[in-house]
Every structure is written in structure tokens, then in C-alpha cells.
Amino acid sequence: MAADSRASRMATKSRRALIIGGSMGGLFAALYLLKRGWRVDVYERIPVPLSGRGAGITTHDEMMRAITDVAGAVPPDFGVDFEWRETVDAAGRSIGTMHRSQVATSWTRLWQILRGQLPDAHYHGGKDFVRYTQSTDGVTVAFADGSSETGDVLIGADGFRSVVRGQLEPAALPVYAGYVAWRGLVEEAALEPSMREAIFLKFMFHLPEGEQVIGYPVAGADNDLRPGHRHWNVLWYRPTDAEELKRLFTDDTGRYHPLGIPPPLISRKYIDALKADAEQLPPQFREAYALVSQPILQPIYDLEPARMVSGRVALVGDAAFVARPHLGGGVVKAAQDAEALARRLSGDAAGSPGHGIAVPDALAAYEAERQPRGRIFVRHAQELGSYIRRGFASEDERAAAEKFRTPHSLMSETALMDWLRSAGALS
């Protein structure tokens, strides 16, 4: 097609984005693009509404701003508000407090808010992306059911094991960080009343040698925010070598689950061992882990690809960069990727929203803007997690890691964005 006729086609017809993955990155991308007049279609592998299996999400001003951008406002019943952070020693005595107002919500609540903004006609569940082909005129995606779709741009928002990235940048693979998070939810009403009074509305920390334990309140089942019906979300980061992880990922029938073991299949012997080890924790966390009925095992990964784009294909969110969860910034990163992508694709920099800018040029500008920021996220999260390990190669290495193992460092950096703001990693 001649360049002129292509330009006139672009100017008269809204362009179409194909988005793989219907989670945080995919929904933010769809909503930002929809607002700018794009036609969008989200293709999600999972056929039913997504759920974060009770995962808690700490929120930040940037997240509230992104939600307001795409949903008009943050609903008043968004999450649980709390004011204080506290670190305890092995005996449960306070060794540091910090005042920091924050709201924690649940992954599912956030997903429902975003999904509620996207008309059903634009969201296609049960569509398993397999591969793409692209030309100067467009990009075509193929799905496992044999169907295909063609659009102007393909957005890979398909998470840390992205199939889109597997084709775009096959060398980029998530690297296991050498530790796992044992997550769990405790029912507020199950906590002994004085314990509930002491910890429930706080972000609590404990720093065993080479490990980290945190807890904070989140909404209860079905986003219930009524006192007595909420949950306390606990995470225990523990060094776990690759061989050990393989054992943990093997169920009682001997089947190995290399991509992650569904919580109900985790062998009882490992859950019993976790609970036995939790007996050594301070009383606050000892009681919490005793009350967790179904722990969730989450290995921690880093991912830093050399490229985020290729021609008409771009990666956003965890498909692009994965930072360890200490910053609690994965959703903000996904939302800001999506915003930048929609802005670049809509040609705002050229002053002609919606028309005219060539997709590969827009994607190159997107990568130049977002890649340095993704790197900062990953590197700083690595620093925060650097002491979660067994043994150090040298005293210098230990000293560098220990800088992040003080109550002050932990409380002023975990699940907060201040450092990233000052480093210019946030929009």
C-alpha cells in the first residue's frame, strides 16, 4: 500500500490494538487507549473472571492517579486504611515505629474496578495467544483455538512468563532470585483480641537472619471491609535453593509443577514444616502463621529484557520488567507503562492525537521512555532483597546487604514509592 493511502486510512479510521493478557497491564493499556479513540481488544487465556487468590496490594498516590485516569475516581470502599508501621524483634518487642498512612486493597478488588470500566465486547476470555506475525501494514496474532486477529499494534501484557516476549526477545527469561515468599491470609476475627488490637491495623515487620516477615491488613472475602471481617496478609521471605524449590513444587503424587504449584497441591509435609518453623517467630507472626489455613508459595524472580518493543509489538507490566515485590510497585509500573504507550501511540508528542504517527516510531519512543525506569525498579528491588539469603561471598557483600536490614530502612522503603520518585523512576 502506498504511504499516502496508508496515511489517509489512518487519519479516517481509528486504529486497532490487540492486547494479550487481561490482568493489570492489559486492562490499563486497554482503558488508556480506549480513552484516546483506539479500538481495543483484550485476549485473556483464563476463561473466567481473574482473581488474585487473596493477594494484598499496597496502594500509592500514582496508583490512585492511574485509577482516576481510567475510572474517573477511586471508589470510597477501595481498601483498608492504616497509619503505622512497626518492627518487632524475636521476642515480639517493638524496635521501631514509623507513621505512614496507606491503603491496602486486594488484587481482586483492583481487577474488578478496572474490568468494570471495559465494555464486555472488548474483553475475550479463554483466548490463548500462540504467536504473532507482522508486516509494514499490521500485526496478526494466532490463538490456540485456531482463530486469528489483525490490528495495528500488539501489546504483550501477558505477565512474567510472557509468550509474546518469548517471541520478541527469546533470550530474556525470569531469573530466580534464590528465595520464596510464603504468603497467607488470616481472618481478623480469628486473631486473639489483644493481638488483633496490637497488630491488625499496622504494617508489621520482623527481620530474622537472612529472612524477612511482613504483615498488613487487607479486605476480607468478597472485598468485605467491615471490622471483624477483614484479613491480615502475611508474607515470609525465605532463602530456598533451586533444588529445594523443585521439591516444594512437587505434589504428593510425585508430579512436578515447574511453573508454580497450585496452593491446594502443596505437600502437607512442607506446610507442617513451615508451621513448625513459624513457632520460632515473634508472637505476632507465630499466631498469624498458625492461623493460615492455606499458605501460597511464591518464588521471587528478576527480569530485565534488553528490548521492550519490536516493530509493531510492545511489552508492558510484568511481561517487560519484573521487580521483586519489596517495592509493592508492580501495578504502578504496569499502569505507567500503559499510560506512556497510549500517549506515544496517540502521537501526543507530535501534537496530533490519534492519527498520523507511525506505530514503530511510537513504540521506539515508548521504549526510550520506559526501559530506563523499568531497570531502576528492578535494581532497587534487588537491593532491598539482597540480604534474603544464606551466607555471603564476602564481608563486603554482607555489609552492602545489611544496609537494607535495619528497621528504619525496611519501614521507609517497603511498599513505598519515595525512593523511586526521587530516582526519577515514576511519571
Ligand X SMILES: Cc1cc2nc3c(=O)[nH]c(=O)nc-3n(C[C@H](O)[C@H](O)[C@H](O)COP(=O)(O)OP(=O)(O)OC[C@H]3O[C@@H](n4cnc5c(N)ncnc54)[C@H](O)[C@@H]3O)c2cc1C
Smallest gap from Cβ 253 to ligand X, in A, equals: 25
Contact call for residue 331 and ligand X (CB under 6 A): yes
Q: Please report, as residue ranges, which positions from 47 to 66 form the binding site for ligand X (by CB under 6 A).
A: 50, 55, 57-58
Cα–Cα separations (whole angstroms), residue 391 to 281, 382, 386, 413: 20, 16, 11, 23
Which C-beta is closer to ligand X: that of 55 or that of 359?
55
Which residues 290-309 are close enough to bind ligand X by CB under 6 A?
A: 298
Residue from 19, 32, 40, 44 that binds ligand X (CB under 6 A)?
44
The reply to whether 29 sits near ligand X by the rule CB under 6 A is: no
**Cα dist from 422 to 105, 338, 427, whole Å:** 25, 21, 11
- Pick the closest to residue 274 from 242, 300, 244, 304 (CA basis): 244
HSE (CB half, 13 Å, CA atoms) of 308? 31
The residues facing 39 across adjacent strands are 16
- CA distances for 276 relative to 14, 271, 281, angstroms: 59, 9, 10
Site for ligand X in 108-167 (CB under 6 A): 127-129, 157-160, 163
For the CB of residue 164, give the shortest distance to ligand X in the complex, in Å.
8
Among 329, 347, 385, 407, binds ligand X (CB under 6 A): 329
The answer to whether 215 contacts ligand X (rule: CB under 6 A) is: no
Interface region with ligand X, contact rule CB under 6 A, candidates 39-47, 206-214, 400-408, 416-424: 39-47
Nearer to ligand X, 166 or 283 (CB): 166
Position 24 contacts ligand X (CB under 6 A): yes
DSSP-derived pairing of the beta strands 80-88 and 94-106? antiparallel
**Strand ordering across the sheet containing 148-151:** 129-134, 139-143, 148-151
Which residue blocks in 220-293 are alpha helix, DSSP H? 242-248, 268-278, 283-291
Give the x-and-dash track for 216-255 against ligand X (CB under 6 A).
----------------------------------------
Q: Is 184 in the site for ligand X (CB under 6 A)?
A: no
The C-alpha cell at 388 is 534474603
How far is CA 199 from its chain centroid?
25
Return the bridge partners of 212, or none: 237
> Is residue 389 a contact residue for ligand X (CB under 6 A)?
no
Choose the binding region for ligand X from 76-84, 88-96, 197-205, 311-319 (rule: CB under 6 A). Answer: 311-319
Which residue's C-beta sits nearest to ligand X? 330
Q: How far is CA 307 from CA 301, 321, 378, 381, in A?
A: 18, 10, 15, 20
For position 341 contacting ligand X by CB under 6 A, the verdict is no
Q: Which residues pair with 317 in a beta bridge?
A: none
Site size for ligand X (CB under 6 A): 37
CB of 284 to ligand X, least distance (A): 20
Chain residues that interact with ligand X, rule: CB under 6 A: 20-26, 43-46, 50, 55, 57-58, 127-129, 157-160, 163, 181, 183, 298, 317-319, 325, 328-332, 334, 415
